[in-house]
Structure 1
Amino acid sequence: MKENQFDVFVIGSGIAGQTVAKACAEAGKKVAIADKREYGGTCANRGCDPKKVLLGTTEVLEAARQLQGKGITKLPKINWKKLQKFKKEFTAAVPKSTEKDLKGLGIQLYHQSPKFLNEDTLKVEGKKVTAKTIVIATGYEPRKLSFKGHEHLLTSDDFLRLKKMPKHITFIGAGYVGLEFAHMAVRAGAKVTVLETGERPLSAFDAELVKELTKYSKKLGIEFIFGAKTAAVKKLRKNFKLKYDINGTTKSLKSRAVFNTAGRVPALSELVLEKGNVTFSESGIETNAFLQSKSNPKVYTCGDVSANGLPLTPLSGREGYVVATNILNGNSKKINVPVIPSVIFTLPNLASVGYSEEEARSRYKSILVKQASVPNWFNAKRINAPVYSYKIILNERTQEIVGAHILGPDAGETINILTMAINAKMTADDLQSTIFTYPSWVNDIKSMV
């Protein structure tokens, strides 16, 4: 086989791409992998992992504030500079160690985004390469905004490597990223404004629980401006002036930094997919059940860029395994996406799995909705948590749990038990008859159902 010919060429070095590349190389295939950014992908370098490290100090601060006067006499302060140094202990070694692992398996590494020339040929680093199979695992990237001055906007990458917390931050978009960063920034001492085109944040989550989270977010000092469309951003001497349209009127505000948190989209713009005969939509690359392109059978896709399920790291790894299996053994394994939980790591967490109330009502003849706000329950009361609510949805006929939504401390952990329950088709009685540790957040589930 010629130097520029490969059995498998993987585009993207996140968990999905790594899984495919390693499995194929270990099976004796000639493999190459390319990434335009540092190796290791979004989650480990500039996403979920570093975000959770930064979140750690705000968790301590939130716990201390809740217990101030109840045993805590002095509140801690966040040293953002030292926190960033601590974060680098988790991220700094990722690119080098990832490259070392891949090279150790004989995988050829490229450091540029390839472009399709035809169905099995790519151009990368000025060279033409061909491959029997091409795997696209490029993940997500920030949605591009096109108003005047958009070049002044910062992204989630910039927030995660801020050397100093600005005095005033504006976030354009009230989704996962915008709300998580807003909670971190306001607790780190910044004045925070969130602009959102819709009338509420977090459209994918239960409206009643989101309303409660929004109310608490405002108490923290976060200012929300709903129904606002950003018109322009102008750089001043120290600040940025942001103009926005609301209810037919143009208004403005000033802040030290403006972040684009208007969502993320599949990272496909540089691949020239049209030349590769790879069909795609806003949701990602269109595939069959084997994660193979519907229009070009030489192409597979996995991870966030695939139009299958939620853009979550655990699913990306699973999809990478499915693609590797199908490359090595023929299309023998279909992607089976289980019920997947979702969580926004604000404080308190907001977590969800299964059907929303509206979806459940349209799917089942009759449902039971069990919901309450319970900050008086022991687990919340012992830490003086101001917010703790839930909504559990049952199929009335079978008593099976079909949806679960929790707002409160550790909801991101508790939701995993409810995910298992839904996937296992457990009933309310099944959970109530299970013995959990007590007192624990998970044990509260028995009272919820």
Structure 2
Amino acid sequence: MSAHLIAIVTLLVIFALGTLRPVNLGALALVATFVVGKAIAGEDTRTILSGFPPDLFVLLFGVTYLFGIASVNGTIEWLVNSLARLVGDRATMIPWVMFFVAAIPTTAGALGPAAVAMLAPIALPLAKKYDINLRLMGLMVMHGSCAGNFSPVSALAVIVNGTVQRNGLPTFPLALFAANFGYNIVLGVAIYLAFGGLELRSRKQGRTSVTVAVPKEEIVVGSSTRSGQRSKSIGEVSTTTPAEVQSQPSTGVSIVRVVTLTGLIAVAIGALVFGFDLGMLSIACAVSLHLLFPSTSKGALSKVSWSTVVLICGIVTYMTLLQRTGTITIVGNSVAGLHSPVFGALLICATAALTSAFASSAGILGALIPLSVPLLRTGEVGVAGFIIALAISTTVVDSTPFSNVGAVVLGNCPETDYEGLYNGMILWGFIMVLTAPVATWLLFVLTT
């Protein structure tokens, strides 16, 4: 067996083990990097570790740390409840309000699971109070979060654009963001029509107060368990929510929340307008808030998604090894050598959708973009259209109950509605796996 084939088989084994067993994909990838680098490529430790991405580490740590503080001090809850009060008893607007509210954190730079974890405990009880189909509300929150996934300051966009740029290809950050946002809005319309959104017009709801169940998050990797807790596995990261949690009443404006919101806006402006590093800005803002308000920032560091940090950094480190050894070039040339590179693009998008339904979207993107570079260099497939199609195909399938955001939503579902929501998410997720690659290929690849 050739060295390149061993490296590719090892990558497949990493994803298989991370899906079937409770082990972080990134940790597996780091071990594989060391083993393959030493035994197959003959590299020393310094060379092996040279592929570790410090920029992504700082970014992921900083963003999750900052939003951890915004979560524990109640800023996110305050924002969401304020918007919900503006809606009042207009039930028809609530799913769309939650859709766009869910897009705010990810557009500002938060990771999808973190954003959904903040909103799901609010959205599902709100749906129950207004007699809204939980599948409608859950899917609107998930796809709202997906809509903001590729904001220029988001972690996923940094991963995608950074990977594309490192491979010497042009980036189109605004086109990627706009196309993904628009595609998820279209999906939101379909969800609204399919799960009873129009029926809400005939209901007259009284205005009710909303109490928020705040879940205690636990990062779990691998197979699902069920022992007093509801959990769904995702292969690398999932959130487990206790079946019973204490409700905390919503509170109003406070100096802590105003300062936190100001900090979030300042970070977004600094990154978007002035081009400062998002990760370092987030860390600086988070540390400042922690110093100013230590009592309301307790537990923020526990909100840092270390599992996601390890996942992304591990996968990128292994993929960098494959780049150094020429494996990616060989595999990419094989795909590019297909009779039709355009058909090869569809094949890659379909592979991404199917795999990402059970594994990390970020990990899949980090793995498949480098593999696609030779295909893109043929000139027969547009870079912008393909990257958009691949990014959307990889992330819209996160609405399955096996993804990280899907597991968060399902974990906050009342026991009596659990089976219905689970089945609805399975059906919708399966539809996404089948339709997203074809639709995005037709819309973005064939037209560019």
TM range (shorter): under 0.3
Relative contact order, higher structure (CA 8 A, sep 6+): 2
Structure having the larger proportion of residues in helix: 2
Structure having the larger proportion of residues in strand: 1
Larger Cα-atom Rg: 1
